[in-house]
Structure 1
Amino acid sequence: MGKRNERGLLTLLVCLVLGAGLLAAVLGASRLGGPQRAAADGAGGSVDLREVPPGPAEPLAAGPDASTGTVTVDCGRNEERHFNEDNLVVSPGLRAGAHHTHAYVGNLSADAQSTDASLAAAATSCRGGDRSTYYWPVLRRPDRAGTRPYERAAGHGNTGEILPEASVAVEFRGNPASKVVPMPRFLRAVTGDAMAGTARSDADVRARWGCSGLPDRSTTHYPRCPEGDRVTRTLVFPSCWNGLDGDSPNHRSHLVFPAPNGVCPKDTFPVPQLRIRLAYDVAPGVPLAVDSFPEQRHSPRTDHAMFVNAMTDAQMAAVVDCLNGGRTCRT
């Protein structure tokens, strides 16, 4: 009987150990952050946007110093097919440093080798002469093979037909709490976190996916939109400048986001807030994959964009004057 009891006790102990291991695995998979989230949010992960509650409203203009204007910069929708795997802001001088493909509007020369002088002298797709560069990772259909050279250039798991933007809206807005001051020429800016799929923090995640017919809702997943709606990406940039630097070692510290009410942190100054809104004609059920680093597995949370301000001082002064004057302008 003693040996039988020992065997029973041993069996119970083994079951408890196995059960604890299974519980740990389940809890680990459910945690936010890390590769598990990248797998869940990869090319197959999506949500019906009609089931997503409306997001918080934009902060209302408060007080007489609010800058309530808007400036739309007409730069087309990359009809020139300006693509490369470079990242002028994050990896200057390094060819194919992004390991994925970016699409551009604005400056037609922008690549890893660009300098302030080359940007200032280049042609632009912007009708009003703005030579700034605005760029973001392409969106693909992974169920269709890419046939054009620029669709096959990136590699690193970024394959499939690149979806063309049906529209690209480049807009600058003011600040709901105060007047804005000019951005310095050749200011560099980043929004979003290209490493968000495996990051331990959501601090830099700015992905806002949506549907054209549901403008008050957004998600960090790929959206499933009602028939006839376009899939949208809204990329909002930080707009509180430290007053000193055109860039910083992490490409973020010199230009940060305001508080939810629009107030900038101490020792920073409000500058025009850049927003890029992209829209795509995508039939219901079509799979989507944003270009990413290989380990990010096309997580929609990694959506990001970059900007280099190459406006002349006069052009920037006109933007600031429009925003602070509360007007609606177009260039």
Structure 2
Amino acid sequence: MTVLKRRLRRLVAPIGVALLGGGLVIAGVQSAHAADTLLSQGRPTIASSTENGGAPAAAAVDGNSTTRWGSAWADPQWLRVDLGSTATITSVQLQWETAYAKAFQIQTSPDGTTWTSIYNTTTGAGGNQTVNVNGSGRYVRMYGTQRGTTYGYSLFEFKVYGSLTNPPASDGPGYVMANPPVTGVVPSTYVPPPTNPATTHHEFQANCAVSRSNLPDDPIVFPNMPGASHSHTFMGNTTTNATTTLASLQSGGTACITPGDKTGYWMPTLLNGTNAVQPVGRQVIYYKSGVIDYTSVRPFPPGLRYVVGSPSATLDDFKNNPGAVEGFECGDSSFNWDIPATCPAGTQLNARLQAPSCWDGRHLDTPDHKSHMAYPVLGVCPNDHPVAVPMIEFKMAWPVSGDMSQVHFSSGRGYSFHYDVFNAWDVPTLAALTTHCINGGLQCDPRGFDQYKPDRGAALNENYELP
């Protein structure tokens, strides 16, 4: 190395380093200390707002520097990631798009409610930043108070490094392994070509009635613990209780119109004061493609189970859930993130919520009943959850209207709405519906028949069974 080059190195090296707010900021650094672990990638992420449908919160933790989260054009705004358990936080990397934060904080929280600032600056310059910090918490967020441009806040990547305080034992208690696992899958980025007539839907319906009600059991969250849960309304399988297993579901009956659907579906009971309100008749549970390449969707494995939403969710959690479609609606009122105070007489309360549709291929369940599943990012499954499976969408309707001030779920306010799925479909039946309707680009009823494309036929016969 020449003398001139050595002098230039000494002069240039310190330029990107500044000490701000008690944290060391190093511009342009892409990697953390070798001992640190990337904790945030693929974790559940929400934000105070999103700029549009193409800039979701999850895009900031997908490991893809070409996708981004973008906020509304106002102050303040925040982006929050759930690490899954308490962690010691040692550094945070922020890869800003042109729209950056001039003033922001890095905050941690044990519960998503009470926040502690572990870094702050009022002179942010955007670009790529690595902030070395000392903090702990399960939740980490960027809290922006002053934008650096007239636009919103925009992050290509938000990476949190550190170590989990009590990391779960891999494949230990609480893990249910798939047998066999699905390996060697790469997330599909294929875009199916246009069809004539156009393919606009990739779905079929499961129409299922209430099978058991007001039962304080949850065989996923509280297995073999009768009475440990808040009250649930069960649909589909007629035997679901605290001791439910895949074998018991497969040998049970069903309240679904399709005999092969012995899946257990359940949600918190809706109450009007102290009186339970049950959905009347069969409810619509959609099985759709959640990814752009609908031809890559494969059926659920037997025994796959998961929870969508959370009884402890805040209004912001529910509003920003990647699967929240329309929230609550009644009459002409829609996109409510809590149960409306009033509904026109004679209407029904409706709710829609979409489930994640990317599976890790290894686990039928995990200790938090969620980590083995993930939402697609911009229509593509993340690398650590590469297997595209049907995206379930609950479309529930409860016969309650008028004064809704006393209407709530057994789990709490409207935004505590969540549901559980324990797959027990007959394997050939689910495969036929998935292939014919989702992979085939059809809008199917429970028989697997698309009335707009009758020439394509049906997957099942008039008894909703395989022909």
- In structure 2, what is the Cα distance between the partners aligned to 1:213 and 1:201? 21
- The answer as to whether partners of 2:357 and 2:391 remain within 8 angstroms in 1 is yes
Q: How far has the Cα of 1:242 moved from its partner? A: 0.8
The AA in structure 2 aligned to 1:64 is P
1:243/1:266 CA distance change after superposition, 3 Å: same
* Secondary structure, counterpart of 1:119 in structure 2: helix
1:95 aligns with 2:226: yes
Q: Which residue of 2 aligns with 1:122?
A: 252
Q: Which residue of 1 aligns with 2:139?
A: none
* Secondary structure, counterpart of 2:431 in structure 1: helix
- In structure 1, what is the Cα distance between the partners aligned to 2:314 and 2:289? 31
The AA in structure 2 aligned to 1:114 is T
Q: How far has the Cα of 1:112 moved from its partner? A: 0.9
Q: How far has the Cα of 1:269 moved from its partner? A: 1.6
Q: How far has the Cα of 1:249 moved from its partner? A: 1.6
- In structure 2, what is the Cα distance between the partners aligned to 1:320 and 1:69? 9
Aligned equivalent of 2:374, options 256, 279, 287 = 256
Aligned equivalent of 1:173, options 268, 275, 288 = 288
1:226/1:33 CA distance change after superposition, 3 Å: farther
Q: How far has the Cα of 1:161 moved from its partner? A: 0.4
- The answer as to whether partners of 1:138 and 1:290 remain within 8 angstroms in 2 is yes
Structure 1 range deviating more: 241-250 or 167-176:
167-176
- The answer as to whether partners of 1:93 and 1:112 remain within 8 angstroms in 2 is yes
1:234 aligns with 2:338: no
- For each residue in 1:72-106, what CA deviation from the matched residue of structure 2 results, as whole angstroms up to 9, or x when unmatched? 11222x1x4444111111111111121x1100111
Unaligned runs of 5+ in 1: 1-31, 36-60, 143-159, 293-297
The AA in structure 2 aligned to 1:101 is S
1:202/1:164 CA distance change after superposition, 3 Å: closer
Relative contact order, CA 8 A, sep 6+: which one is greater?
Answer: 1
- The answer as to whether partners of 2:318 and 2:337 remain within 8 angstroms in 1 is no
The AA in structure 2 aligned to 1:220 is W
- In structure 2, what is the Cα distance between the partners aligned to 1:234 and 1:115? 27
The AA in structure 1 aligned to 2:193 is P
Q: Which residue of 1 aligns with 2:302?
A: 185
Q: Which residue of 1 aligns with 2:193?
A: 64
- What percent of counterpart residues are identical? 27
1:163 aligns with 2:296: no
Please show how residues 148-159 of structure 1 align to structure 2 within 5 Å. Answer: none
Question: CA RMSD of the aligned region, Å?
Answer: 2.9
- The answer as to whether partners of 2:264 and 2:421 remain within 8 angstroms in 1 is yes
Q: How far has the Cα of 1:166 moved from its partner? A: 3.2
- In structure 2, what is the Cα distance between the partners aligned to 1:191 and 1:324? 24
* Secondary structure, counterpart of 2:392 in structure 1: strand
- The answer as to whether partners of 1:85 and 1:97 remain within 8 angstroms in 2 is yes
Aligned equivalent of 1:289, options 374, 399, 408 = 408
Q: Which structure's residues are more often helix, by fraction?
A: 1
Structure 1 range deviating more: 311-320 or 205-214:
205-214
The AA in structure 1 aligned to 2:351 is R
TM-score, length basis structure 1 = 0.67
- The answer as to whether partners of 1:68 and 1:175 remain within 8 angstroms in 2 is no
* Secondary structure, counterpart of 1:246 in structure 2: strand
- The answer as to whether partners of 2:338 and 2:414 remain within 8 angstroms in 1 is yes
Q: Which residue of 2 aligns with 1:314?
A: 428
1:201/1:226 CA distance change after superposition, 3 Å: closer
- For each residue in 1:28-51, what CA deviation from the matched residue of structure 2 results, as whole angstroms up to 9, or x when unmatched? xxxx9649xxxxxxxxxxxxxxxx
The AA in structure 2 aligned to 1:327 is L
- For each residue in 1:204-235, what CA deviation from the matched residue of structure 2 results, as whole angstroms up to 9, or x when unmatched? 686653225448x3222112334443211213
The AA in structure 1 aligned to 2:389 is V
